[in-house]
Structure 1
Amino acid sequence: MWVTEVVPSSGERVDAASASGREWLTARYRRGDSAYVRLNMITTLTGSAVGSDGTSETLTNRVDRTILGVIRSEADVVVVGAQSVRAEGYVVPRRAHLAVVSRTGDLTGHRLDVSAEAEARVLLLLPAGVTPRNVPAGASVIHLSGTRDLQPSEIVTALTERGMPRIVCEGGPDLASRFAQAGVIDEYCVTSAPVLAPASAPFLSVGADVGLAVDGMLVDDAGFSYLRLRRR
């Protein structure tokens, strides 16, 4: 599928399915800094993070999945909420760690696709004193504060101190909103799907304006747009 760069207005077009197209996308999404927090999510035009099946699978397309892979390839760790790994058929990234944030420590019903090799790259972040249950056998458990709602700044600090300073948050909406409200996100990568669907809640909730600058925008021939927004 073809992608066109509209910000900056180069008008360059590439086939995202080709090797050269992936290299082009990698160059657009590459960051020069050694430590950052990125948000990467997809939304409908009505603000829903999920489609008709209750997951993002009915929203995404091939270009979005390619960009997801590019962003993950630059990261040390992908952070996701426990609710997302229950709802989505989540695959552990090829190289990055996967950190699952849970208030209860119970991953019963998770849909993590974990190979034996990938188990060691799964982390479970819990409040102090919470007992993990139904966690992949080789996963590491990290206890943080004693509060039920783990603070995004705590999560970022814990991962950075363990050698994972390049962080990508993939939601869901509750975790993503807490990261946004805490002001820890350096870059927002948002895919807008050309879909009108019921939205029980926005994919991102904030209590005040967040100062952002458009760093780049791509569109594909199916009407999807791919925004990169940097915090001012």
Structure 2
Amino acid sequence: MITSLTGAAAGSDGTSETLTSPTDRALLGIIRAAADVVVVGAATVRAEGYVLPRRARLAVVTVSGDLDGHRLGDTMEGVLLICPEARAAEVQDRSGLPGAQVVAVAGGDDLEPAAICDALADRGLPRIVCEGGPTLAARFAAAGVIDEYCVSVAPALEAAARPFLPIHARVATDLAGMLVDEAAFSYLRLRPRR
């Protein structure tokens, strides 16, 4: 995840692209390379114009299948659409991604993070990177399914309508690593205290 000093998850253009740096993108590539799957919410796919990770699979959490604005390409081989069981057919049709595989998760429209993780692990994808957006990442944090937080802090003062991680209760963490580069970006690794 990336944030400004003021807690914004997006820069002036409404995406994280105006907050990031070459070093941040390089670290993101390293994190993705160690993952089996990158999990992201459909709202983030729409807002960011998401592209496919080079090495990991992409899993999009969606209730509706609306992915307008994506830059995922046409074939979608290897893309997973995680959705409520009752909406699987609707999500497949509406996504416009004929090569994507629907992963139907039991329960209602409010998909539980643990159920998402279990569904991915059942498909041989246990190493999960949740890239957000803010709502999905906060749900993963609240559910206690995050082993490590990797947070880049951009040296920017952006207006923040809401925090980059809108949690409602404190998550106690321990510092696992921290770097600061010449451009004044900070890179934090935090582990939840268990």
TM-score interval, smaller chain: over 0.9
Give runs of ≥4 in structure 1 deviating > 4 Å. Answer: none
Residue 144 of structure 1, aligned match among 87, 105, 128: 105
- Cα distance in 2 for residues equivalent to 1:94 and 1:186: 23
Q: Which has the higher helix share?
A: 2
Which amino acid counterpart does residue 161 of structure 2 have in structure 1? S
After TM superposition, give the deviation of residue 150 of structure 1 in Å: 0.5
Which stretches in structure 1 are left out of the alignment for 5+ residues?
Answer: 1-40
- Cα distance in 1 for residues equivalent to 2:30 and 2:146: 18
- Cα distance in 2 for residues equivalent to 1:170 and 1:100: 10
- Cα distance in 2 for residues equivalent to 1:98 and 1:151: 18
Aligned length: 189
- Higher RCO (C-alpha 8 Å, min separation 6): 1
- Cα distance in 2 for residues equivalent to 1:137 and 1:95: 21
Which structure: larger Rg? 1
Pairing 1:173–2:124 present: no
Aligned Cα root-mean-square deviation (Å): 1.2
1:10-33 C-alpha deviation (Å, 9 max, x unpaired)? xxxxxxxxxxxxxxxxxxxxxxxx
After TM superposition, give the deviation of residue 134 of structure 1 in Å: 2.7
Which stretches in structure 2 are left out of the alignment for 5+ residues?
Answer: none
- The answer to whether the Cα contact below 8 Å between 2:20 and 2:154 also exists between their aligned partners in 1 is yes
- The answer to whether the Cα contact below 8 Å between 1:42 and 1:60 also exists between their aligned partners in 2 is yes
After TM superposition, give the deviation of residue 129 of structure 1 in Å: 1.6
- Cα distance in 2 for residues equivalent to 1:203 and 1:193: 12
> Percent identity, aligned pairs only?
59
1:182-226 C-alpha deviation (Å, 9 max, x unpaired)? 111000000000010111110112222212110100111111000
- The answer to whether the Cα contact below 8 Å between 2:74 and 2:97 also exists between their aligned partners in 1 is no
1:75 counterpart residue number: 35
Pairing 1:207–2:168 present: yes
After TM superposition, give the deviation of residue 230 of structure 1 in Å: 1.0
- Cα distance in 2 for residues equivalent to 1:146 and 1:182: 16
TM-score by length of 1: 0.79
- The answer to whether the Cα contact below 8 Å between 2:180 and 2:186 also exists between their aligned partners in 1 is yes
